Chain A
Amino acid sequence: MYKYDNYDQQMVDDRVAEFKNQVQRRLAGEITEDQFKPLRLMNGLYLQLHAYMLRVAIPYGTLNSEQMKMLGHIARKYDRGYGHFTTRQNIQYNWINLEQCPDLLDDLASVEMHAIQTSGNCIRNISSDQYAGAAADEIADPRPWAELLRQWSSFHPEFAYLPRKFKIAVIAAPEDRAAMRLHDIGIELVEQNGELGARVFVGGGMGRTPMIAPQINPFVKADDLLSYVEACLRVYNRYGRRDNKYKARIKILIHEMGADEYRDQVEAEFAHVKTLGIDPPRAELERITEFFAPPAFSSDAEADLDRSDPDFAVWIDQNVKAHKQDGYAIVNISLKPVDGIPGDASADQIDAMADIALKYSFDELRVTHAQNIVLPHVAKRDLHAVWRALRDAKLADANLDLISDIIACPGLDYCSLANARSIPVAQKIAKRFESLERQRDLGELKLKISGCINACGHHHAGHIGILGVDRKGVENYQLTFGGSGAEDVSIGKIIGPGFDEDGVVDAVEKATDVYKALREDGERFLDTYRRVGVEPFKEAIYAK
């Protein structure tokens, strides 16, 4: 994975010095909260329901054991012993103290980590495929391109006060494991005449008006990428709406002006920007790419798996995925235990994952947008040892992509933007479907819960989505079906009137009963719904 050179380290160190100064001036009353807010947001620091919340960047979801250990250290030293992994591959801490924040950032900087631009109306963390470098279906590792974009976007002086936040995702496989089409800019690396280029989609997003990004350019060469993206951002910065916070994302601009007009404007701006010398030489991408060379795989990694232990066997079947390298496997660590909080991990668990990664996964981990963790390169002969170590840390739930593998935003328990709690709903659903056998019978069922219209839980992209709303001061939950963040991208549709907390759990259960009654061979819940439509589900759910 990428390693900082002196320049990268200096940037992060200078940023800490800048923020330290800003915090001091805020504490001394030299700047007001209104003036300080965009500054602290550009450093990932929110003021939330119970305290300051800090969102630490994990660039394209990749980190090593030293960094993971630091995240555990941060949880212990500056927070209340745990962290929350997010739907953008970052981590959040909920109980941060402003006075201590600069020291926290110093600690992060010592392991090449930061909280730069993880909030605010600027370009956020570049996300990517959690199986990058390990998946057989990728045409290349997308992360060098993500790293190029990360550096270009960091402290970009023109795009720090955009109409709204800006999220970019980069993938390089036909299977979209990063919800790329639901980003402001989504990039799929493709090959043309033996050359790698970017297929560029612009204008996706969730929130109040979910949209799937249309393709704006089928192939942007590596040497043109930064100029092209600069042009995309400049058009947005100049013409994105600023009159209404809920209409300020680029998806609204493209929807209102039309993809063709947007494309024309970008092409015109690109022709101009290209003359400015923004694109680095090819050598820079090559330099970065070297950091993502495959690890020193062993020819001795293969093993026949002893499936005599049924728990191990189930875990293999559910959480372990094929690796492109013979003898290796991709291990998924679920952070969705039945009685837990989706995406949360204790400092001890974070340390355990770090240790396991160092020993068994070439010192590398990934964070997924489904709030789980991946060990990308595990030798098959080590799988049993890995499973035992995870089990000891209560990290061996074999529920990947099953109904209890719920994506849930922190919701009203933590977030001042929320209208309803999401975690208790997730817990009740997970409890209702506690039986792993039952879950596996239901198969792949991506359930996502958001506590408000900002959709941080990605409910629009859930096979089953739940949106918490405030109905006259009482929490109420709307149900949507048919969303998908994968390459078969679609936006879920609300099925009818909302429910209270217990009602929505019952409704979900009824929906799965209907699915089981109607499904045909090989169909997931999503497939059955797409085939039969909402009526059979509505009938059962709203039956008197």
Chain B
Amino acid sequence: MPSKLRFRDDEPQEQPAVTLAAFLDQSNATAVRIEPGEDARDLIPYLGRLSLIEIGFPEFRDGRGYSAARILREAGYTGELRAQGDVLVDQINYMRRCGFDSFAADAPLDEAVAEKMLHIFQHDYQPAADAAVPIWKLRHG
């Protein structure tokens, strides 16, 4: 089983992601990595020239990356947004909703399970970083 899943049509971004500190220190890199304790908003001025942002998940229970991902999508980032590290297949649904479109997990990810879990919920109660129309909007138009 692979440990990578990707939900984009363009070419996979394989360039090394530099650290946030290195990036902010006048780097020409187009790929950057944020750790859980770092502020995704530091990247907002540079989103136009980034094609890959990798968000680290050193421990699957640390949910800070979910907010970081949404913040980046809310700021208009359209490049690849990758969750890397201790990522479990049962988290992919919420991660997709928060804007992640690429996954590089430490442990193997069962693609069939991921596919199944991604399509279990017909609807969503609240808007997020995906295209889902929240139930209240379906109710009232």
Contacts and interface: CB of A to CB of B under 8 A. Distances in A.
Q: Do chains A and B touch in the complex (CB under 8 A)?
A: yes
Interface residues of A, number: 43
B21 to A, nearest CB: 19
A328 B135 CA distance: 37
Contact of A158 (B60, B70, B140): B70
Given A22-B90, A39-B90, A280-B140, A161 B125 contact: no
A151 to B, nearest CB: 5
Contacts of A242: 36, 62, 64
A161 B61 contact: yes
B121 A38 contact: no
Given A18-B121, A238-B64, A156 B140 contact: no
Interface string B49-65: 00000000000111110
A7 B117 contact: no
A17 B136 contact: no
A157 B97 contact: yes
Contacts of A226: 126
B121 A237 contact: no
A162 interface: yes
B104 interface: no
Interface in B75-94: 88, 90-91, 93-94
B126 A152 contact: yes
Given A5-B139, A276-B74, A280-B137, A158 B61 contact: no
Nearest to A276: B74
A158 B121 contact: no
B110 interface: yes
A368 B56 CA distance: 42
A5 B138 CA distance: 12
Contacts of B90: 22, 31, 35, 39
Interface string A209-244: 000000000000000001000000010011000100
A197 to B, nearest CB: 19
B116 to A, nearest CB: 7
B6 interface: no
A242 B57 CA distance: 13
A159 interface: yes
B134 interface: yes
Nearest to A5: B139
Contacts of A30: 110, 113
Interface in A261-305: 272, 276-278, 280-281, 283-284, 287
Contacts of A58: none
A5 B110 CA distance: 34
A242 B67 CA distance: 15
Contact of A160 (B63, B136, B137): B63
A155 B125 contact: yes
A10 interface: yes
A162 to B, nearest CB: 6
Contacts of A277: 127
A25 interface: yes
Contact of B126 (A35, A156, A161): A156
11 contacts: A10-B123, A17-B120, A22-B90, A25-B113, A121-B61, A154-B125, A157-B66, A158-B66, A226-B126, A238-B64, A280-B136
Given A31-B90, A39-B90, A162-B63, 4 more contacts: A35-B60, A157-B128, A158-B70, A242-B36
CB-based closest 9 A-B pairs: A161-B63, A157-B97, A280-B136, A157-B94, A7-B135, A284-B136, A158-B66, A14-B121, A151-B125
